[in-house]
Amino acid sequence: MKGSLRIARLFGIDVAIHWTFLLLVVYVVFLSTRQQASLAGTLVALAFIGGVFTCVVLHEFGHALTARAFGVKTRHITILPIGGVAALERMPTKPGQELLVAVAGPAVNVVIAAVLLAGVLLVGDVKTPQNPFTQSTGFFGMLALVNIALVVFNMLPAFPMDGGRVLRALLAFRLEYARATRVAAMVGRVMAVGLLVWGVMAGNPVLMIIAVFVYMGGGAEAAAATQRAAMQGTLVGDVMQTSFRTIPSEASLAEAADAVIASSQRDLPVVDAYSGRFEGLLRHDDLAGALSSLDAGTPVSSVMQTNLPTLPPDTPMLDAIEVLRLNPPVLPVTHAGDLVGMLSVGNVNEFLLLHATPRPGQRIRRSRED
């Protein structure tokens, strides 16, 4: 995630902290100052926030490591002021697997809360100086209560919380995946409206913000499921762009600029002038940067990207979308080394616009030539 700083790498997964997390630190210091807490009390408050977010990270690792057991990788875990995000490459679509991945995070918080409460009951809690969080309950007792609250909040049956995914997984045992998602999203939206009304009547802005968050999350999840259903059984060859301009690797930056202007094509595939085989991709941003710092006669081969993945035309689109997410928004489609098409985010969006809600019997695909 942009604006994040990696602070650790555990189990092969990067853990990063987003710069906005500093706003929470500033807010905690502000609360402590307003309550006239001592320096020790302020430090305890900051330590408590650190403890809470350590529990949040462990929660996300619960998701990530369970997903790994089903062959799903996690790119990174990012800490935000509102919690943590485990960037799974995808969610398992088998109901049983999604159910286990979804409950793994809250299960970690249940274990943490049980251990903390057992420790408090057996040994006692740590009394702390005056601070905004722990002066009445004790440090570890309050941390246990926060973990219980995390479980309750995350298990609400609404996207994007874990409870929404649990509900979808349970429904998907009996319903088709996209329909299960729509039903779960509708349940979440009804809950969001209820939270909004409650927040307005109680004058609680936090509840109102959560309601908006839940309502939007349900809509996004339903849209993603609809798109996934539209892509089911679709290949890259059905979606790729076959009419595009290429440029030889010996061409100059000036010639590339002329080609972009003439064709309105932002990214140019670079091919060998003699064999026509794909060699690289000249990105628009790279071309613009090179024109401002290099001679216009510099060959495009010195600027093009060569480490891009290529997609065969028979690649399932559900797999290709995951590749697009991790790479530039346009990728070459090759067959036996020859460039046969280009796949971009724009192609995908156009396909979804035309096919996401087809009428019966009217789903039309481009016929592939044998």
pLDDT value of position 136: 57
Which residue's entry shows tokens 């409650």?
198
Please list the pLDDT of the chain residue by residue as tens digits (370 residues): 566 778 888 888 888 888 877 777 777 777 777 776 677 777 877 888 888 888 988 999 999 999 999 988 888 888 877 677 888 877 787 899 999 999 999 999 999 999 988 888 887 666 655 555 555 567 788 888 889 988 998 898 888 788 988 999 999 899 888 788 888 888 888 888 988 999 899 888 878 888 888 888 777 877 777 777 777 788 888 888 888 888 898 889 898 898 888 887 888 888 887 887 888 888 888 888 888 888 888 888 888 888 888 889 998 888 888 788 777 778 889 888 788 888 888 888 888 877 655 455 544 444 444 4
Strands 74-80 and 13-18: parallel
Token pair for 366: 């481009």
Residue entry with tokens 């905004």: 132
Q: What gap in Å lies between CA 298 and CA 287, rounded to an integer?
A: 11
CA angle 73, 79, 83 (to 5 degrees): 105
Burial degree of 22 (CB within 10 A; 0-12, 13-18, 19+) = exposed
pTM of the predicted model, to two decimals?
Answer: 0.68
**Residue 211, amino acid:** A
* Residue of 239, 190, 241 lying closest to 356 (CA atoms): 239
**How many Å apart are CA 95 and CA 75, to the nearest integer?**
22
Class of the domain covering 236-355: alpha beta
Distance CA 46, CA 149 (A): 19
Strand partners, 281: 269, 305
Burial 147-179 (b: 16+ CB within 10 A, else e): bbebbeebbbbbbbbbbbbbbbbbbbeebebbe
How do strand 247-248 and strand 268-271 relate by DSSP bridges? Answer: parallel
Beta bridge partners of 270: 247, 280
- Each domain of the chain, given as residue ranges in start order, spans 4-155, 172-230, 236-355
How many residues does this entry show for the chain?
Answer: 370
Q: Partners of 341 in the beta sheet?
A: 333
Question: In the prediction, which pLDDT does 109 show?
Answer: 93
Q: What is the pLDDT of residue 170?
A: 93
